[in-house]
């Protein structure tokens, strides 16, 4: 087993023992596959090794796909009885689906809206989903600071233009 119950300190519990972990494993696997396909479709370098810009993203995508596969395998081998209600599983599944849709939407609007607007909207929505609507101001503030910080770092320090 990859992550067996008792492999972590007391109170941590087994990681891949509930149905919600199966949903997470499927989401990680799907993300890894989509990322790997997108990495393979990156433009080739006109000078030097044409696959140079593709190696790292492709390796990362394959690694995430392998991890998702291992997570799915581990969760399917688990013989622990599920004690959670169906409503709670639906809550986790809907969050995962919403986050996946947010990621796809972010990728689609990134070039159209540019880095600042699309990243701010994506991170705000993502953090609101994680933290709840009651903490919307904190979520939007963190998203704004992070977006501006990354923009400043790339534009002013690294002198790399973002879309």
pLDDT digits (tens, 9 = 90+) for 31-55: 999 998 988 888 888 888 877 788 8
- C-alpha–C-alpha distance, residues 70 and 73, integer Å: 5
> What confidence category does residue 78 fall into, taking pLDDT thresholds of 50, 70 and 90?
low
Residue 20 has pLDDT above 70, yes or no: yes
Q: Regarding predicted confidence, which is higher, 21 or 117?
A: 117
> What confidence category does residue 88 fall into, taking pLDDT thresholds of 50, 70 and 90?
low
- C-alpha–C-alpha distance, residues 106 and 121, integer Å: 8
> What confidence category does residue 13 fall into, taking pLDDT thresholds of 50, 70 and 90?
very low
- For 110-153, how does the pLDDT look when each residue is reduced to its tens digit (9 = 90+)? 989 999 999 999 999 999 988 888 989 999 999 999 999 999 99
Kindly write down the DSSP assignment for every residue of 71-130, as one continuous string. Answer: HHHHHHH--PPP-S-HHHHHHHHHHHHHHHHHHHHHHHHHHHH-HHHHHHHHHHHHHHHH
Q: Which helix (H) or strand (E) holds 45?
A: none
Residue 84 has pLDDT above 60, yes or no: no
What is the pLDDT, as a whole number, of residue 90? 62
CB-count exposure of residue 10 (10 Å: 0-12, 13-18, 19+): exposed
Residues 6+ apart with CB under 8 A from 17: 5, 75, 78, 80
Q: Regarding predicted confidence, which is higher, 141 or 15?
A: 141
What is the pLDDT, as a whole number, of residue 142? 94
What is the pLDDT, as a whole number, of residue 10? 43
The Cα-based distances of 104 to 26, 49, 121 in angstroms read 16, 30, 13
């Amino acid at each position: 087993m990859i992550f067996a119950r008792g492999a972590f300190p007391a109170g941590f519990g087994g990681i891949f023992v509930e149905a919600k972990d199966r949903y997470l494993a499927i989401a990680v696997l799907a993300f890894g596959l989509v990322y790997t396909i997108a990495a393979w479709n990156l433009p080739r370098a006109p000078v030097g090794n044409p696959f140079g810009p593709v190696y790292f993203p492709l390796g990362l995508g394959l690694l995430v796909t392998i991890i998702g596969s291992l997570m799915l395998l581990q969760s399917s081998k688990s013989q622990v009885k599920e004690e959670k209600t169906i409503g709670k599983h639906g809550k986790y599944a809907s969050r995962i689906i919403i986050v996946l849709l947010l990621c796809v939407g972010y990728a689609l609007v990134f070039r159209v809206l540019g880095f600042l607007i699309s990243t701010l909207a994506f991170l705000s929505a993502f953090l609101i989903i994680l933290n709840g609507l009651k903490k919307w101001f904190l979520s939007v503030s963190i998203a704004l600071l992070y977006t501006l910080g990354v923009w400043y770092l790339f534009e002013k320090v690294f002198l790399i233009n973002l879309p």
